[in-house]
Amino acid sequence: MTLNDLWFVAIAVLWTGYFVLEGFDFGVGILLPVLGRTGVERRVMINTIGPVWDGNEVWLITAGGATFAAFPEWYASLFSGFYLPLFVILVALIVRGVAFEYRAKRDSARWRAGWDRAIVFGSAVPALLWGVAFANIVRGVPLDARHEYAGSVLDLLNPYAILGGLVTFTLFTAHGAMFLALKTTGEIRRRAAGVALRVGAAAAVLAVVFLVWTQFLGGTAATAVLAALAALAFVAALGAVWRGREGWAFALSAVAVGVAAVTLFVVLYPDVLPSLPDPANSLTVVNASATPKTLGIMTWVAVIFLPLVVLYQSWTYWVFRRRIGVRDIPA
């Protein structure tokens, strides 16, 4: 394995970690007005992700930084062609972060309701657009001989990409519902389990169609096995929810999201951004990469600091592992 291949794998791992961890964050935000019927219940829901949501976004920052440093051509083509959707995602994430911090700054129901809507917006938009973006990356986009995007924003709204957006939206929503069923008590826990089953059933159907379509785009026997594993894990997660085994449900849901993300990267390799309709203009792990010296320095930095990041984030989850409910919220 060359350093180019190693960093492609590393970036795949970072994006997979981001989707698994930030995915349930997005789900909690999307479900805020659905499961939180009172102000106190909404505060319980926000408190379940309060200690971890910003740490989960570290995976996105690291993935973006690693892409910029390891594959600058890939980064440049993505941000030129996908500029508008990525800008909208960035705005949504900023609004969401501000909403978490500002929601409790004033004792006003109207004030909190406004920031709650901002949380829903900041969660739903990325949950949808990340699927659209990654579906286009796997499918391919128009690139010219200089590897510059030669299409328009409307080219990104093709049926496959829209289906990808619906898959991530429903999958993250169900993932978040399973997290809430695991982390809460009382009525919120009961409602979350019900939503997980209903939304999860829709997500399962959409995901199967999307993975089969992806297989026809360039899948192999290995990707077929991975897609089947993701589907089985998610169905098992729904079964665990039905039996009231929230811990197993969330773990299996995380496996399903992670394996589905890995499947997309396996289908993509050795390209990093396929070109349609001319494959000769595609960006690959070779022609999009940085110099071997740059990749070597990055490898040593990752070896030193990545374990530290994993350790402190694991410690955070361990410290805040207890369930919470309405009774834990002061007046």
pLDDT at 206: 95
Nearest to 53 by CA among 15, 100, 105: 100
pLDDT at 306: 86
Alpha carbons 310 and 315: distance in angstroms, whole number: 9
Query: Which 8-state DSSP code applies to residue 327?
Result: G
pLDDT digit string, tens, across residues 120-144:
999 999 999 999 999 999 998 998 8
Of 111-115, 150-154, 170-174, 265-269, which range is least confident? 150-154
Residue 163 has pLDDT above 90, yes or no: yes
Domain span holding position 54: 3-328
Nearest to 64 by CA among 22, 1, 114, 103: 22
Tally of structural domains, the chain: 1
Residue 19's pLDDT band (cuts 50, 70, 90):
very high
| pTM for the model | 0.94
Residue 1 has pLDDT above 80, yes or no: no
Residue 221's pLDDT band (cuts 50, 70, 90):
confident
Contact between 295 and 7 under an 8 Å Cβ cutoff? The reply is: yes
Residue 10 has pLDDT above 90, yes or no: yes
In the chain, the percentage of residues whose pLDDT exceeds 90 is 74
The stretch 169-187 carries a mean pLDDT of 96
Contact between 249 and 182 under an 8 Å Cβ cutoff? The reply is: yes
Residue 329 has pLDDT above 90, yes or no: no
Residue 331 has pLDDT above 80, yes or no: no
Residue type at 95? V
The stretch 293-320 carries a mean pLDDT of 90
The stretch 49-74 carries a mean pLDDT of 92
Half-sphere exposure of 292 (CA within 13 A, CB side): 1
pLDDT at 46: 94
Residue 298 has pLDDT above 80, yes or no: yes
pLDDT at 70: 93
In the chain, the percentage of residues whose pLDDT exceeds 70 is 100
Residue 149's pLDDT band (cuts 50, 70, 90):
confident
pLDDT at 151: 82
Of 162 and 278, the structure prediction assigns the larger pLDDT to 162
pLDDT at 242: 94
Consecutive H or E run containing 272: strand 271-273
Distances (CA, A) of 10 to 70, 89, 152, 227, 269: 10, 23, 30, 20, 13
Q: Does 126 sit behind a cis peptide bond, omega within 30 degrees of 0 on the bond before it?
A: no
pLDDT at 107: 87
